[in-house]
Amino acid sequence: MSLWDKGISVNEWIAQFTVGRDREMDLYLAEFDVLGTIAHITMLETIGLIGIDELPILKKELSAIYNQIKDGRFFIEDGVEDVHSQVELMLTRSLGDMGKKVHSGRSRNDQVLVDSKLFIRCELQKTVESVKILFDALIAQSERYKDVLLPGYTHLQVAMPSSFGLWFGAYAESLTDDMLLLQTAYKIANQNPLGSAAGYGSSFPLNRTLTTQLLGFENLSYNVVYAQMGRGKTEKIAAFAMSSVAATLSRMAMDICLYMSQNFAFICLPDEYTTGSSIMPHKKNPDVFELIRAKCNKIQALPTDITLMLANLPSGYFRDLQILKEIIFPAFTALRDCLDIAAFMMDKLIINRNILEDDRYKYLFSVDVVNQLVIEGTPFRDAYKIVGKDINEGNFKPDVNVKHTHEGSIGNLCNVEIALKMNKTLQSFEFDKTNKAINTLLKN
């Protein structure tokens, strides 16, 4: 069964190829298809395309379908093309001709658009919540270990003193920038395309402002052609935001894998959070972080995948866009899995508090010694040469008392300020407004 069925049988191979993984991917959209339909029929009643007596009956049936979806009892039947067809089929089975009215003034094009925007909006909110949990864990560890020094590297060569406070805090602040990209993606997704129909509007006097309010969208995608052009663009922007979070996670995971190596031995994990080898009984492998690294590197490829899929497409709808679902929908879950397990693992890390006792790290303090000579009156370039000569002649004696006090340094992490940046961005999402609108839509 398909919404475009005109009584002509389509070749089975063609049907299977064109449907592809839609029936599988559309399960992600099911609850949002129902929400979009409730908003749409509420609007249709105000313009006289659905009777005032029909609306509560349709809403009741749609609410029952919504509950089936939330309970895990909803499925797309064999022979049914997509979630839109399945929901309409269930309505017509229960309500007859009344169920056939719900498609007036819309197309599958704007149905999948609004479903996808509602889904992406919801998934971005969940992602934001997971990012915040990891952020809090990183800030807590930064404060806990702020006085524990470790080597800083440039070119993988011992460079200058760092600290675990700086290291944990660096990834926390990286997430604040990632959150800004998530905010942008959320704002793009939070615009209503419903009513654009096949991409050229409708001769029905649709009230698109009303559906915007009912679905809790912040704004309306006004131009109906652009509303359709937004498909793919919304996914691409969301993918960029996800890839930024993934880049932060992947880099942090690489650090942890490196630092757990016996050649570094900066950190370790309790045995129960590592895996072993089938032939080497001493092995304790950081497989969680290796998998985070791989999964997140895969997510970083999403924007490129989507960019190439959209390449050379003119305005209007094309079936190419169907494949967007299978690229981006599962990626949200994959990213949150990585965020959640990374947050879980943060306080399991065991920190080596005596790293710098190893003589190999004594040159970490060469810059501090140069700076001390400058404070005492030696020009910087002369001080640099003096310390360099001492190092070459084996006479260098480090001063291990770190005196870094400026903003964002070892002695002044500015974690409070970093947390303020994060909270300011979080507040601007205004999730409560959207959630309240959806709850109201389901209750009325």
Q: Which residues are catalytic?
A: 155, 277
Cα distance between residue 113 and residue 105, in whole Å: 14
User: What residues have CB less than 8 Å from 358, skipping those under 6 apart?
Assistant: none
Q: First CA to last CA across the chain, in angstroms?
A: 31
DSSP character string of 262-293: TTT-SEE--GGGSB--SS-TT--B-HHHHHHH
Residue of 7, 12, 11, 34 lying closest to 78 (CA atoms) = 12
- Percentage helix, strand, coil for the chain under 3-state DSSP, each rounded to 5: 65, 5, 30
Cα distance between residue 120 and residue 238, in whole Å: 8
Distance of CA 203 to the CA centre of its chain: 38
Cα distance between residue 145 and residue 366, in whole Å: 24
Cα distance between residue 365 and residue 342, in whole Å: 32
169 and 139 Cβ atoms separated by less than 8 Å: yes
Computed on alpha carbons and rounded to an integer, the radius of gyration of the chain in Å comes to 28
Q: For strand 267-268 and strand 350-351, is the pairing parallel, antiparallel, or unpaired?
A: antiparallel
Number of C-beta neighbours around residue 223 at 10 A: 12
359 and 156 Cβ atoms separated by less than 8 Å: no
155, containing H or E segment = none
Cα distance between residue 74 and residue 86, in whole Å: 10
Cα distance between residue 280 and residue 253, in whole Å: 23
Strand partners of residue 162: 150
Both tokens assigned to 435: 């959630």
Q: Give helix 164-189 / helix 224-260 axis angle, nearest 10°.
A: 160
